[in-house]
């Protein structure tokens, strides 16, 4: 069978998901809704909304607007197997369809788990070279995998899901050169819209090649990928249990997070202030280094993709908040002299080829002569260091501070798997 057929057959009839997988999916859905609320007033969201405000809002348009909002402030989760911000595409693609169909919370969770597994399968099938070449996995892998989740939610059988996947391959796009601009969150919106439209089109019988990922001039060949057949698809343990999605502790590009957490670790271990730091050096992966293209950011979007800005604020304040990524926040904190103290370099391609699990390393040189060094293999929020229930709730309430019923919404989401009517979630959408 082709890669698409293999994946479609699983999506059409997965084994029952474990209680742990369902719990983790609920947590991811809750976190994504919080990020969506926090991003509703961002410029990128407003621009997308205004472009279609006089158009009848179809499920695909709703997916476009809400996925843009979910990714707008870069606070949404990371997903390593898909090289993507998985949930920011997947949940907004599923929600309008689920609401239109009057699906239950349990059905939404199951479709989320199908779409997430599909993102992992596509991501591993084409390999990491796709992402390092400059393709934005959120909008390529995210589009294709999320389309499978939407098709499953719509009730399509294996052949319909396969048609959906083939269509979605032709709709996948998005380049990482747009990082630091409002088009980056639009990539998530575009992917969610295309996921809904691919599944909708597949219901009419529209179809394409089922070997379009691995065939000559297909997705892998054209998008700098390899062709691998993941062997774990029928494992008892879902990818959300094996690897997990990683919610963000900091509202900025995930490529900064291991260094930011390393700063927090050193601040907890040693008595020093920001003014005590003479120099800070950050050693990161090649893809992370390429993502962080703004050593002297001029606006809040560039600041989210600036290691220098994020590290400087972390050193100064010991934490980062949504307020640090506003025009006023950046104007007052993007001090050129302070940012110049912070340098960044990448591991070489040879080093990464030899060891794909290299840490990010922070080296601080203090004015008193001390040199502090700390390495991190993962960031806070990863499976190895998960958020506590208190941390998840605190992030939700912070993102949803403008909603008068934020706590009640959080409590309702805790019971999502047993909720028959999910209309309460409309209050969190754009």
Q: What is the pLDDT of residues 166-179, one digit of tens each?
A: 999 999 999 999 99
Query: For residue 13, is pLDDT > 90?
Result: yes
Confidence of residue 397 (pLDDT cuts 50, 70, 90): very high
The answer to whether 260 and 311 are in contact (CB under 8 A) is yes
pLDDT at position 36, please? 98
Confidence of residue 355 (pLDDT cuts 50, 70, 90): very high
- Alpha-carbon distance of 237 to 234, in angstroms, equals 8
The secondary structure element, H or E, covering residue 60 is: helix 59-71
Longest dimension (CA), the chain: 71
Span 399-415, average pLDDT:
96
pLDDT at position 162, please? 98
What rounded mean pLDDT belongs to the chain?
96
Global confidence as pTM: 0.92
The answer to whether 122 and 147 are in contact (CB under 8 A) is no
- Alpha-carbon distance of 291 to 255, in angstroms, equals 7
Domains (range + CATH), the chain: 3-248+383-428 (1.10.4100.10), 254-376 (3.30.1330.120)
pLDDT at position 56, please? 85
pLDDT at position 2, please? 98
- Alpha-carbon distance of 263 to 246, in angstroms, equals 19
Span 217-226, average pLDDT:
95
Query: For residue 356, is pLDDT > 90?
Result: no
- Alpha-carbon distance of 65 to 428, in angstroms, equals 12
Span 29-57, average pLDDT:
95
pLDDT at position 271, please? 86
């Amino acid at each position: 069978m082709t890669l698409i057929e293999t994946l479609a057959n699983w999506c059409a009839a997965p084994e029952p998901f474990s209680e742990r997988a369902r719990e983790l999916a609920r947590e991811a859905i809750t976190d994504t809704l919080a990020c969506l609320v926090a991003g509703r007033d961002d410029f990128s969201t407003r621009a997308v909304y205004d472009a279609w405000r006089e158009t009848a809002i179809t499920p695909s348009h709703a997916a476009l607007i809400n996925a843009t909002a979910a990714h707008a402030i870069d606070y949404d989760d990371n997903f390593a197997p898909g090289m993507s911000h998985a949930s920011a595409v997947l949940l907004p693609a599923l929600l309008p369809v689920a609401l239109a169909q009057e699906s239950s919370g349990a059905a939404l969770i199951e479709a989320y788990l199908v779409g997430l597994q599909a993102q992992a399968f596509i991501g591993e099938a084409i390999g990491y070279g796709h992402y390092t070449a400059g393709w934005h996995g959120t909008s390529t892998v995210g589009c294709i995998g999320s389309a499978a989740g939407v098709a499953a939610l719509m009730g399509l059988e294996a052949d319909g899901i396969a048609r959906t996947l083939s269509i979605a391959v032709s709709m996948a796009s998005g380049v990482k050169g747009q990082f630091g601009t409002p088009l980056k969150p639009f990539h998530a919106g575009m992917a969610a819209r295309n996921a809904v439209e691919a599944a909708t089109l597949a219901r009419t019988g529209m179809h394409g090649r089922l070997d379009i990922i691995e065939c000559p001039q297909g997705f892998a060949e054209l998008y700098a990928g390899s062709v691998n057949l993941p062997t774990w698809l029928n494992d008892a343990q879902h990818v959300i249990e094996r690897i997990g999605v990683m919610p963000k502790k900091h509202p900025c590009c995930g490529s900064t997070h291991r260094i930011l957490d390393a700063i927090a670790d050193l601040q907890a271990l040693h008595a020093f202030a920001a003014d005590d730091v003479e120099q800070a050096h950050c050693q990161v992966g090649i893809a992370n280094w390429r993502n962080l293209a703004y050593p002297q950011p001029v606006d809040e979007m560039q600041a989210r993709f600036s290691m220098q800005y994020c590290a400087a604020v972390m050193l100064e304040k010991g934490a980062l908040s949504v307020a640090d990524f506003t025009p006023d926040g950046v104007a007052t904190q993007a001090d050129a002299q302070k940012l110049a103290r912070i340098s960044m370099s990448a591991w070489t391609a040879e080093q990464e080829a030899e060891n794909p699990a290299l840490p990010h390393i922070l080296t601080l040189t203090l004015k008193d002569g001390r040199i502090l060094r700390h390495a991190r293999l993962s960031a806070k929020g990863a499976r190895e260091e998960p958020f506590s229930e208190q941390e998840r709730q605190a992030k939700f309430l912070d993102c949803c501070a403008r909603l008068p019923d934020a706590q009640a919404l959080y409590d309702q989401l805790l019971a999502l798997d047993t909720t028959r009517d999910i209309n309460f979630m409309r209050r969190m959408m754009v």
